[in-house]
Structure 1
Amino acid sequence: MDRPPVVTPRHRTFRAALRWGAALALVALSAFVGHQLSQQTGLARMREAAEHRLDMIATGLDAELTRFDYLPALLEMTPVVPALLRSPGDPALSDAANRYLAGVNATTRAEMLYVLDAGGTSLAASDWDQPGTTVGQHFAFRPYMIDALAHGRGRFYGVGITSRRPGYYLSYALRREQAAPGVVTVKINLEDNESAWRKLPGDLVVVDQRGVIILSTRDDLKFRPLLPMDALQRAEVLRARPYGTAPLEPLQWQRVEALAPGVDLLRIDGADKLGTTRTLRHAPWQLIALDDMGALRVGARNAAVTAALGMVALLLLGVTLWQRRLAERQKLANQAALQAAHDSLESMVVARTAQLHAAQDELVQAGKMAALGQMSAGLAHELNQPLTAMRTLSESAAILLDHRRDDDVRGNLKRIRDMVDRLARLTAQLKTFSHKQQLQRVPVVLAGAIAEAQVIVAGAQQKYGVQVEIDLDPPQLAVMADEAALGSVLVNLMRNAIEAMEEAPQRLLRLEGRLHGDGRALLTVSDTGPGIRDDVVPHLFEPFVTTKPAGSGLGLGLMLCAQLVRAMDGDLQAGNRAGGGAYFAVELPAAGLE
Structure 2
Amino acid sequence: MQARHLFAKFFRSDTRFLVLIAILVTSSIGWICYEYTTHNQLSELEQRQLSFLNLFQQNIHQQINKYGLLPLYLSHDKRVMETLNAPLTAARQKSLNRYLEHLNQAVGAIASYIMNDKGVVIAASNSQQRDSFVGRDLSYRPYFRTAQDNQVNGYYGIGTTSARPGYFLTTAIMRDGQRLGVAVTKVSLNSFKQDSFHGQHPVLLTDRYGVVVISSLKHWQYRSLKPLSESVLKKLNQTQRYDHRVLQSLHWQTLQTLNQTAEMVAISIDGHRQSYLAVSRYMPKLRMTLTVLTSANSVHSLAYSRSFAVGTLSAVLFLVWLSLVLRHKALTIRRQSQFALEELNTHLEEKVAKRSSQLRETIAKLRAEIDEKNKAFEQLKGFQKELIRTENHAVIGQLSAGIAHEINQPLAALSTLSGNTERFLEQGDVENVKSNLQRISSLVDRLAKLTTQLRNFSRRGDDHLSVIDIDSCIDGALQLLNYQIRKAQVQVACYAPAKPLYTRANAVQLEQVLVNLISNAVDALENNEKKLIDIYWYSNTHRICIQIYDNGVGLTDAVKKHLFEPFFTTKKNTGLGLGLALSASIIRHFDGKLLAESQNPGSCFTIELPVLTGDKYE
- TM-score, with normalisation over the residues of structure 2? 0.49
Return the letter of the residue paired with 2:227: P
User: 2:209 aligns to what?
Assistant: 210
Give the 5 Å matches for 1:271-420.
271-319=274-322
User: 2:105 aligns to what?
Assistant: 106
Cα shift at 1:12:
2.5
Q: Which ranges in structure 2 are unaligned for 5 or more consecutive residues?
A: 343-618
Cα shift at 1:192:
2.1
User: 1:346 aligns to what?
Assistant: none
User: 1:139 aligns to what?
Assistant: 138
Tell me, yes or no, if structure 1 residue 263 matches structure 2 residue 223. no
Give secondary structure in 2 for the equivalent of 1:82.
helix
Structure showing greater Rg: 2
Name the count of aligned residue pairs: 335
User: 2:231 aligns to what?
Assistant: 232
Give secondary structure in 2 for the equivalent of 1:46.
helix
Cα shift at 1:6:
7.0
Tell me, yes or no, if structure 1 residue 118 matches structure 2 residue 121. no
Bigger drift between 173-182 and 118-127 goes to 173-182
Q: Distance in 2 between matches of 1:249 and 1:210?
A: 13
Give secondary structure in 2 for the equivalent of 1:273.
strand
Give secondary structure in 1 for the equivalent of 2:132.
coil
Q: Distance in 1 between matches of 2:290 and 2:11?
A: 64
Return the letter of the residue paired with 2:249: P
Residue deviations 1:350-401 (CA, integer Å, cap 9, x gap): xxxxxxxxxxxxxxx99x99xxxxxxxxxxxxxxxxxxxxxxxxxxxxxxxx
Contact 1:113 1:126 in 2 (8 A): yes
Return the letter of the residue paired with 1:303: R
User: 1:163 aligns to what?
Assistant: 162
Give secondary structure in 2 for the equivalent of 1:68.
helix
Cα shift at 1:324:
7.5
Return the letter of the residue paired with 2:74: L
Residue deviations 1:108-137 (CA, integer Å, cap 9, x gap): 222211111222222221222223121222
Q: Distance in 2 between matches of 1:43 and 1:80?
A: 56
Return the letter of the residue paired with 1:311: S
Cα shift at 1:232:
2.8
Cα shift at 1:180:
8.0
Contact 1:83 1:93 in 2 (8 A): no
Contact 1:213 1:221 in 2 (8 A): yes
Q: Distance in 1 between matches of 2:176 and 2:73?
A: 15
User: 1:45 aligns to what?
Assistant: 44
Return the letter of the residue paired with 2:132: T
Contact 2:93 2:122 in 1 (8 A): yes
Contact 2:139 2:145 in 1 (8 A): yes
User: 2:33 aligns to what?
Assistant: 34
Residue deviations 1:192-248 (CA, integer Å, cap 9, x gap): 222333313422212212232222222232222233333332222121111123201
Contact 1:160 1:167 in 2 (8 A): yes
Return the letter of the residue paired with 1:274: L
Q: Distance in 2 between matches of 1:33 and 1:80?
A: 71
Q: Distance in 2 between matches of 1:151 and 1:145?
A: 15
Return the letter of the residue paired with 1:67: K
Q: Which ranges in structure 1 are unaligned for 5 or more consecutive residues?
A: 334-364, 370-594
Contact 1:147 1:153 in 2 (8 A): no
Residue deviations 1:53-78 (CA, integer Å, cap 9, x gap): 11111222222223234334533554
Bigger drift between 174-183 and 115-124 goes to 174-183
Return the letter of the residue paired with 2:194: S
Contact 2:121 2:137 in 1 (8 A): yes
Residue deviations 1:154-208 (CA, integer Å, cap 9, x gap): 4321001122111111111222387881211011100222233331342221221
Q: Distance in 1 between matches of 2:230 and 2:304?
A: 46
Residue deviations 1:535-554 (CA, integer Å, cap 9, x gap): xxxxxxxxxxxxxxxxxxxx
Cα shift at 1:327:
9.6
Q: Distance in 1 between matches of 2:74 and 2:82?
A: 11
1:77 to 1:173, Cα distance in 2 relative to 1, 3 A? closer
Percent identity over paired residues: 21
1:12 to 1:143, Cα distance in 2 relative to 1, 3 A? same
Give the 5 Å matches for 1:493-572.
none
Give secondary structure in 2 for the equivalent of 1:303.
helix
Give secondary structure in 1 for the equivalent of 2:67.
coil
Residue deviations 1:493-537 (CA, integer Å, cap 9, x gap): xxxxxxxxxxxxxxxxxxxxxxxxxxxxxxxxxxxxxxxxxxxxx
Q: Distance in 2 between matches of 1:165 and 1:197?
A: 21
1:16 to 1:77, Cα distance in 2 relative to 1, 3 A? closer
Q: Distance in 1 between matches of 2:279 and 2:33?
A: 25
User: 1:525 aligns to what?
Assistant: none
Contact 2:75 2:172 in 1 (8 A): no
Bigger drift between 157-166 and 172-181 goes to 172-181
Q: Distance in 2 between matches of 1:248 and 1:19?
A: 59
Return the letter of the residue paired with 1:285: M
RMSD: 3.3
Q: Distance in 2 between matches of 1:205 and 1:12?
A: 62
Contact 2:71 2:184 in 1 (8 A): no
Q: Distance in 1 between matches of 2:178 and 2:11?
A: 105
Bigger drift between 160-169 and 249-258 goes to 249-258
User: 1:513 aligns to what?
Assistant: none
Give secondary structure in 1 for the equivalent of 2:258.
strand
Contact 1:117 1:123 in 2 (8 A): yes
1:297 to 1:11, Cα distance in 2 relative to 1, 3 A? same
Give secondary structure in 2 for the equivalent of 1:181.
strand
User: 1:65 aligns to what?
Assistant: 64
1:88 to 1:299, Cα distance in 2 relative to 1, 3 A? farther
Return the letter of the residue paired with 1:143: P
Return the letter of the residue paired with 1:275: A
Cα shift at 1:16:
2.4
Return the letter of the residue paired with 2:278: G
